[in-house]
Amino acid sequence: MGQRDIRRLLVTGAMAVIRWALRRGAPRNPWLARMLERKPPMVAAFALANKMARGIWAMLTRGEDYRDPVMVSA
């Protein structure tokens, strides 16, 4: 099941990203744009929270720091 507080923080953060994306127009992230076209915002928030959790887990298990995707592609 995991810890409720961590799950709640991930979903809250994902909802903030989605609310910002819906207000400001098309998000920069094509994955999120496609998800919002197909699914309701709350379902997309859970998918985004899951994606963030997998990224965090990968960074923790490998001992890596966060690399901004914009900086990596440049």
| 28-64 per-position pLDDT tens digit | 778 898 999 999 999 999 999 999 999 999 999 998 8
What's the Cα-to-Cα distance from 12 to each of 8, 52, 71, rounded to whole Å?
Answer: 6, 12, 25
What's the Cα-to-Cα distance from 64 to each of 12, 32, 60, 72, rounded to whole Å?
Answer: 24, 24, 7, 14
Burial of residue 41, with CB atoms counted within 10 A of its CB: 0-12 exposed, 13-18 middle, 19 or more buried: middle
User: Rounded to two decimals, what is the model's pTM?
Assistant: 0.80
Predicted local confidence at residue 73, as pLDDT: 52
